[in-house]
Each structure stands twice: as C-alpha cells, then as structure tokens.
Amino acid sequence: MQRWGLAVLACLLLAVPGFALTLDTLPDYRDAGMRLLVRGTQKLQGGDFVGATEDLRQAVRLRPDMPEAFHNLGFAFEKMGDTRMAVKAYEKALALNPNYPSALNNLGFLLATLELDAQRAVLLCQRAVELEPATANFRDSLGWACYKAGRQDEAISHFRAAIKADPTFFKSYFNLGFVEFTRKNYAEAARNLTAVLRLNRDYLKAYIPLAVSYEKTNQSGKALYVYQQALTKAPAGSPIRRHIERELHRLTANSKSFYFSKVKQIQASSRLTDYLKSKGKLGSGAGSGSTIETSGTFTPVAGLPETAMSFDAALPDMAPAATPAFGGAPAPRASIPSAASRPSPGRPAPSGYAPGRELSVEEERRLEKQYSLAKSYLDRGLVSEAAAELEKVLAAAGEATVGRQARQLLLKVRRELEDRNKDAARTHLDMGKDFFRSGKYDMAEEQFRKALSLSPENAVAFKDLALLHYNQGKFKEAYEECKKALALDQTLKEAYVVLGSLYTKKGRIDEALRTLRRIREVSDTRDAVDELAERMIASLNAGG
C-alpha cells in the first residue's frame, strides 16, 4: 500500500469532533496556503484564536479553493464572538463543498441560535445528520434548530437520539431538560438536569433550572442544596451569583420558618401528652410513639448526622425519604441485605466479625464514625479514600444498619470511580492524538497507554496505538493492537484499514482484501474511511 494512504488515514482518524481539523482531501503540503492552513489549525487547537484567525485569513486568500480553510476560519471567528463573519465563512465553505457535514452543522446551529433563519437551520442540520448519522453533536444541533423553529416534539426526539449515540454528551441532557422545563414537565426536567451535573459538575447553566424544578415538585430541601452547590461555581460579582444568593436567602428563611412552626407543634403536643398522663387519660403505651404526625418531607435538625451532604444525595434516584431543614445530610435508605457485606472467600474476616452477630453499641458507634469519615471524603472529592473506608465498614458491619448504608453508598462510589476513569481515559486519548499530530510519537504512546490503564477495554485506544506503531514501522505491535481493537469492537473501520495494510506488507493479499471488504459489512454510512478502503482494494486488484 502506498505511504500516502496511511498519512491520509492518520489525519482522518485523529480528527476532533465538532469542527474539521482533517486535512484528508488536501493534496500538497508544500503549498504556502496549505502551510498556513496547517499552522492556523494548530493554533486553533491550542486556543490561540487571534493567531489562528490571522493565519487562516491568509490561507483563504492564497487558496480560495479550500473549503477546510473557510470552515476552520468560521470556527475561529465563532470562538472570538464574531458570529457575523463566522456565518460568512461557513457559507463560503459550503459553496465550495455543499456536502461538508461540519460546516452544515455549525452554520445551522448559528442560524438557529442567532434566530436568523430557523427553518433553514433545520434543513442544514438535517443534511449534516444524513451525512453522519452517528455523530451526537450533529443530532444535538438538529434538536436545537427544531426547538428554535417551534418544533418541540421533534427537538426532544433528536436530543434523545444524540444521547443514545453518545451517553456522555452532557449538552444534549441539558437541552432536553431545558425543553422539558419550558413545557413545565419539572420532574422530567430535573431528571435530565441531574444527568448533566453527573457528567459535568461545573456546568453552571444546569444548576438554577434544576433547583427551580425541585421547588416546583415540592422538594425545597434539594433546591436549597443545589443552590448552595451553584454558589461555589458562580463567579464573584456576577449577576447569576447575586441571583443565587437571593434564592438561598429566601429558601433558608422559609426553611427556618417551617422548622420553628413544627417545633412549636411538637412542644405543644408534648405538654398535652404529659397533662393527659397526669390525669390518667393516656396509657403508657400510647405516649411511647410519635406524639404528632409531621410532614413526610421534614426531619428535625437534631435527628441528622453531623456530616455534610454530598451532591449525589440530592439526586432523584438517590433521594432520601426525608429532606433536612437546612441542607444537612439525611440518613441514607437501607438497601436489601446481600452476601456482598460478608467477607469473601479470598479475604479473611475482620477481627470480631461473625455472620449474624449483633454489634455492640461501641462497635456500631465506631463504624458509624468510619461511615461519616467516608462521606466526608466523598464530599471533598476523595473518591478512592471514601471507597477504602466503606470497604472497611462493610467488612465489619455485616447486616447491621450501618453496613447496609455503607453497601448502598459504596455502589454509588464505585460507579463514580468508573465514570472518572472513563473521563480521564478520554482526556489521555485526546492528548495522545494531539501529540501524534505533532509527530511526538513517544509522548503520544505514553498517553494512549495511560488511557488503557484506566479503561483496559477501550477499543479506540488500541486502534490509535496500532496506527501509531504502523507509522513507526513497529508492525508486530500494530498487528496485535489491531486484533485487540477488533475483538472489542468489530465495527471499528479504521482498524480494518490498518490491518489490511499490514497484510499487504506481508504479501498476504487475499487476507488484505478479505479484511478491507469487511468494512462494507460493518459500515452503517459511507465516509472517507470507506473511500480509502475502496481505493486500496482497487489498487490491490490491479496489482494482482
């Protein structure tokens, strides 16, 4: 296989979603306009939007035939806030290539956001989705354009399709929650806005509608806590911070008023009970229970643990049965006991543990302190430390209440650890791709391996390593990594291309052709990878 084919593939496979950084259709890197495009694109990736704009403007003057240059210039203008020039640049990119998916998407999103032409925005975004139906970002933009065009039901379906395509794409959760919020479906809005903050806790836009949704569904305690979290994220002196402070003051005042009214009722009821007892009107058993029926959403402050509530405790599917008056931590619900709380065969039981043995008061207090310590670790973001403490509690507590509480919280902690590892792996992958583009292969490999250490079954990481090693001439390693990538994901078309190239180098033409033809079977939509594979097949057939 010719060397240029894999150079093209390297650019293609490591493209950044959302805007085209691919140079796969560009023929000549010695051209001055091309060099400016490459340099401007690198600055764009590095966040130097002013420098990128200067280089890309020169690039389009020298090479007005390159849609990629106009597209990337449009993105640079957009990042600098010059939306009018961004629209013009995207229009020129589409004039040169009407089927440029990213330009269609970005222009459609801008037209919808600026409310310039919502109907045309829908058509542009629809075309982008037709060209690349698996791209979550494009489906999200189509949903946004439909919302701006007043087609809310369609918008919701597209946001859901984006989430299905990429369950980690938090902006689609936000847009879906926002649409449900505007339709006054507050419970559904809260569910989606909660998902946003699980994926990105720094996304300030989600906090206020989430808090309002909680208030609208009579969950003032949760609303208060969400506002408290938002206050830690809002910039000092900003209008949004002042709004959050006002809402916190209002909700806190309401909570205090509610608390003291309940205290008075309880005290009055207690005096009545004592009086009836003294007159012999009330038996000893009657006074032993609750003296007054209180609100099912209220817990007296004295009945709360001392630890602070973690953010997850305010989320719908983790919500306690009672909401604290001032944002303290309610006691977690006990889950169904399981064998998970007992020592495993491979791990000895802690000293003093016996299945079914009741804990002494002193032991239970000690374990409750450990449980509180684990929650405080979690509140400070020390997830691994929280997991270690909960493991200790779980091993020693057996079926006691604190053990069931620890088991429930440990499941959530493990999920959070897993999510963090996946996020960190994606970050290392992105860094590795940046190093790869810059020709820093050793640093790229280090990042890819870090991604695999966090997410050992990441097919994309194995594919990227295979491509890296192919470019370095390490064909044995590339072969093994291709096999691993395809074992994990049989639809990974890029891995088939690299594997086909490796077979070609070994002179195993029949296997190369069989591998490359496999792309036709797994491809849902035709793209540049399919075209490259077809060219390789034609070249091999001609050579045969």
- 312 vs 215: which has the higher pLDDT: 215
- Whether residue 19 lies inside any domain: the answer is yes
- Whether residue 430 lies inside any domain: the answer is no
Instruction: Please check whether residues 23 and 146 belong to one and the same domain.
Output: yes
Check: CB of residue 504 under 8 Å from CB of residue 2.
Answer: no
On the question of pLDDT at 269 being above 90, the answer is no
Total Cβ atoms within 10 A of residue 384: 10
Instruction: Please check whether residues 144 and 178 belong to one and the same domain.
Output: no
For the segment 83-103, the average pLDDT, to the nearest whole number, is 93
How many CA atoms lie less than 13 Å away from 239 in the CB half-sphere? 1
The reported pLDDT for the residue numbered 138 is: 92
Check: CB of residue 530 under 8 Å from CB of residue 500.
Answer: no
Instruction: Please check whether residues 81 and 26 belong to one and the same domain.
Output: yes
Instruction: Please check whether residues 264 and 202 belong to one and the same domain.
Output: yes
Instruction: Please check whether residues 15 and 98 belong to one and the same domain.
Output: yes
CATH number assigned to the domain comprising residue 295: 1.25.40.10
- Whether residue 99 lies inside any domain: the answer is yes
What total of structural domains would you count in the chain? Answer: 3
Instruction: Please check whether residues 156 and 173 belong to one and the same domain.
Output: no
Instruction: Please check whether residues 189 and 127 belong to one and the same domain.
Output: no
On the question of pLDDT at 290 being above 90, the answer is no
The predicted-structure confidence for 33-81, as pLDDT tens digits, reads as follows 888 888 888 888 888 888 999 999 999 999 899 899 999 999 999 988 8
DSSP per-residue string spanning 200-247 = -TT-GGGHHHHHHHHHHTT-HHHHHHHHHHHHHHSPTT-HHHHHHHHH
Q: Which amino acid is at 65?
A: D
The reported pLDDT for the residue numbered 544 is: 53
On the question of pLDDT at 356 being above 70, the answer is no
Final residue before a domain boundary, out of 283, 302, 331: 331
Confidence of residue 97 (pLDDT cuts 50, 70, 90): very high
Final residue before a domain boundary, out of 110, 138, 164: 164
> Residue 73 burial (CB < 10 Å; 0-12/13-18/19+)?
buried
Lowest mean pLDDT among 280-284, 317-321, 484-488: 317-321
Instruction: Please check whether residues 484 and 462 belong to one and the same domain.
Output: yes
CA dist., res. 217 & res. 237, Å (int): 30
- Whether residue 383 lies inside any domain: the answer is no
Alpha helices in 149-185 (DSSP H): 152-165, 170-182
Instruction: Please check whether residues 129 and 213 belong to one and the same domain.
Output: no
On the question of pLDDT at 288 being above 60, the answer is no
On the question of pLDDT at 540 being above 90, the answer is no
On the question of pLDDT at 289 being above 60, the answer is no
Max mean pLDDT among 28-37, 39-48, 207-216 falls in 207-216
- Whether residue 476 lies inside any domain: the answer is yes
Residues 6+ apart with CB under 8 A from 449: 465
DSSP per-residue string spanning 382-426 = -HHHHHHHHHHHHHHHTTSHHHHHHHHHHHHHHHHHHHHHHHHHH
> Hunting for tokens 């190369």 — which residue is that?
512
The reported pLDDT for the residue numbered 326 is: 29
Instruction: Please check whether residues 26 and 114 belong to one and the same domain.
Output: yes
Instruction: Please check whether residues 193 and 260 belong to one and the same domain.
Output: yes
CA dist., res. 171 & res. 206, Å (int): 10
- Whether residue 344 lies inside any domain: the answer is no
CA dist., res. 272 & res. 268, Å (int): 6
Tell me the residue range of the domain where 49 lies: 1-164
CA dist., res. 439 & res. 433, Å (int): 10
- Whether residue 150 lies inside any domain: the answer is yes
On the question of pLDDT at 29 being above 50, the answer is no
Check: CB of residue 396 under 8 Å from CB of residue 368.
Answer: no
Instruction: Please check whether residues 178 and 104 belong to one and the same domain.
Output: no
- Whether residue 482 lies inside any domain: the answer is yes
Determine if the pTM surpasses 0.85: no
Lowest mean pLDDT among 130-144, 273-287, 529-543: 273-287
On the question of pLDDT at 96 being above 90, the answer is yes
Final residue before a domain boundary, out of 149, 164, 179: 164
On the question of pLDDT at 181 being above 80, the answer is yes
